[in-house]
Chain A
Amino acid sequence: MTKWMRFALIAVLVVVAALLPLFLPDLTFYVQMVLAAVVVTGLALFMGFAGQASLGQGAFVAAGALTVAVTTVELHWPPLLALACAPLVAAGFAFVVGLPLLRLRGHYLAFGTLALLLIVQTLVSTVPFLGGGVGISGIPALGVGELVIPDQIGYAYVALAALAVTLLVSRNLVSSRFGRAVRALAGSESAAESAGVDVVRTKLGIFSIAAAFAGLAGGISAFFIPYVSGESFPAVVSFTYVIMAVIGGLGTLWGGVIGAVLVSLLAQGLTTLSASPGLPTTAGPILQYAAYAAVLILALIFLPRGILPSVSSAIARRRARAPGTLTALAAEQPVEAE
């Protein structure tokens, strides 16, 4: 794909994305899809470059959402300040937690991040400051002083702006010096180490950045749906983020967007299908679960690199075998001689 084709494609995408909110009657789905893309962009980078799975990314979404909820409702901070703090708090939380946690690898890290999510859930459900058993409601609308966002469309554009920022940051990150360290990490940790890359710090960095994106998304969603409780971050949503990341393509810039869009559209399509006569009302969520899962399984078995094969294989070709690394191993063709 030539540079011009790419540019044109992105331009078309941007135009479509920007115009859609004007035509859709209910924007809840759209906003949630875009926010998911924000989260998954970070997750796809982490999973792709650090080569580890995070099953509990919702913990950082929660951190961002809670920052907004607590600071606006209980501390009466201005909304914009609260939103600005959301990614920072999430990143800080990830940094602190990541120091011990990132010593784990493979399935231990996967379960560790999941445990983190559940612990966060418990805290949100019990600690009064964080909402106790009732959650935090009455979050004000996002805005500056008198100028607040009156309706859903405003939030849709805020979400799009956040996504744009996320993508820009990611792109610059990947081509920066830090990005080079991250990419070296993806190839082989020991090789990176001997090349002078501080593996621990690099992993921590990308973990925190992914968390910052998640926190930003969480913060915006706290304004959009002005209620935060322990139920707001179920594990299955974090699993869905992983599914989106895998489908969209780990370690790629657009993987998050592609994965989020595809999986969300799939979900929406199924919901519409389940509303058709003949199916019980509970069919919707069931079919969604089943479909996500089936798609994940099939994708992992047949397309372990995700739906952006050209980009992924280009990155994969530069990778050597590293134990426990997701994409490095997924990119390898199983040699028949075993």
Chain B
Amino acid sequence: MLTISDLVVRYGAAVALDRVSLTVERAEMVALVGPNGAGKSSIVNAVSGVIPIASGTISLSGRAAQVPEGRHMFADMTVEDNLRLGAWAVKDRDVAPIYDLLPDLARLRKRLSGTLSGGQQQMVAVGRALMAKPDLLLIDELSLGLAPLVVADLAAHLRALNRETGTTILLIEQEVDLAFELCERAYVLEAGRIVAAGTSEQLRSDPSLRDAYFGRDVEANAPSAPKEQR
């Protein structure tokens, strides 16, 4: 589905991505984790074609749509308009399938998206991306600024989406536990380089990795029992 080889991205003199390689197979849910500033967003933006590439290759079979970090609503427009605009590049502007998948959005269809809560906006952003009927969904920082329950709800929808439609998902996440919870495989990005890769199980229980890259997050996320009970 998506193969990135030796990708190099620069912002002026600074190197944001230094020969990054990763693959995402069809219908997989893969996570990309790492601390702030590691360059995670750069990968997603490079795949979406938003930023130029210095060298390396990105090969994508099919269409990708991005759920941007920070949601980026068309604030003065309704939820329905936001969704329909997601279909700008494709012919079919029918919103019904999205409402089937995310019923809450149907309830909010006439609301101005700028007036919605963070979680609701995130749902609109996901719905908007899905309107383009993508084969690959790139999600940049799903949980940013959202309450755990809200994030859990979104994660459930994404899992259902992947199961029912086979949509491939690449999830950029700072919140490590969410990432490993949702995705079977993950890459760890640090300072523009992939420093670890493997299944979530492997990475989750690798102590040296956790100490080096997740530090205090380990302690902070340990008592996350409520999240496990679903």
Q: CB within 8 Å of B: which residues of A?
A: 333, 335-338
A335 CA to B16 CA in the complex, in Å? Answer: 13
Asked whether B11 is an interface residue with its Cβ less than 8 Å from the other chain, the reply is yes
User: Which B residues are closer than 8 A to A by beta carbons?
Assistant: 11-12, 45, 50-52
Q: Bound complex: CA of A337 vs CA of B12, how far in Å?
A: 10
How many angstroms from the CA of A338 to the CA of B50 in the assembled complex? 6
5 pairs, A vs B, C-beta closer than 8 Å: A335-B11, A336-B11, A336-B52, A337-B11, A338-B50
Nearest-neighbour CB distance to chain A for B178, whole angstroms, equals: 26
- Chain A nearest CB: distance from B71 CB in Å? 18
Main secondary structure of the interface of A (DSSP, over half): loop
A333–B50 CA distance with the chains assembled, in angstroms: 17
CA distance A333 to B12 in the complex (A): 9
In the complex, which residues of chain A have a beta carbon less than 8 angstroms from the beta carbon of B45? 337
Closest CB-CB distance, B31 to chain A, in whole Å?
Answer: 23
Q: Smallest Cβ distance from A333 to chain B, in angstroms?
A: 8
* Interchain CA distance A337-B50 in the complex, whole Å: 6
**Which residues of chain A are within 8 angstroms of B11 by Cβ–Cβ distance?**
335-337
Contacts of B51 in A (CB 8 A): 336-337
List 6 tightest A-B contacts by C-beta distance, closest first.
A337-B51, A336-B52, A336-B51, A337-B11, A335-B11, A337-B45
Report the bound CA distance from A336 to B52 in whole Å: 7
Per the bound structure, the CA–CA distance linking A338 and B45 in Å amounts to 10
- When distances are taken between beta carbons in the complex, the residues of chain B under 8 Å from A333 are 12
CB of A19 to closest CB in B, whole Å: 48
User: Which B residue's beta carbon lies closest to that of A337?
Assistant: B51
A338–B11 CA distance with the chains assembled, in angstroms: 11
Minimum C-beta distance from B199 to chain A (A): 32
User: Closest Cβ of chain B: how far from A331's Cβ, in Å?
Assistant: 14
| Inter-chain contacts of B12 with A (CB < 8 A) | 333, 335
Residue in chain B with minimal CB distance to A335: B11
Quote the shortest CB–CB distance from B56 to chain A (angstroms). Answer: 16
Chain A residues with Cβ under 8 A from B50's Cβ? 337-338
What chain B residues lie within 8 Å of A337 (beta carbons)?
11, 45, 50-52
Compute how far the CA of A333 lies from the CA of B13 in the bound complex, rounded to whole angstroms: 13
**In angstroms, how far is the closest chain B Cβ from the Cβ of A239?**
35
Q: Specify the chain A residue showing the minimal Cβ separation from B9.
A: A337
A270 to chain B, nearest CB (A): 41
Contacts of A335 in B (CB 8 A): 11-12
Q: Contacts A336-B51, A336-B52 known; list 10 others, CB within 8 Å.
A: A333-B12, A335-B11, A335-B12, A336-B11, A337-B11, A337-B45, A337-B50, A337-B51, A337-B52, A338-B50
Chain A contacts of B52 at CB under 8 A?
336-337
Q: How far is the CA of A336 from the CA of B12 in the complex (A)?
A: 9
B45: nearest chain-A partner, CB-CB: A337
- A44–B12 Cα gap in the complex (Å)? 30
Output the nearest chain A residue to B51 by Cβ-Cβ distance: A337
Closest chain B residue to A333 by CB distance?
B12
Within the assembled complex, what's the spacing in Å between the Cα atoms of A335 and B42?
A: 14
**Alpha-carbon gap, A174 to B51, bound state (A):** 40
How far does the Cβ of B52 sit from chain A's closest Cβ, in whole Å? 5
Closest Cβ neighbor of B42 among chain A residues? A337
CA of A335 to CA of B50, assembled, Å:
12
> In whole angstroms, how far apart are the Cα atoms of A337 and B11 in the complex?
8
Among A335, A337, A338, max chain B CB count under 10 A is at A337
**In the complex, what distance in Å separates the CA atom of A25 from the CA atom of B12?**
54
Within the complex, the shortest CB–CB distance from B43 to chain A, in Å, comes to 13
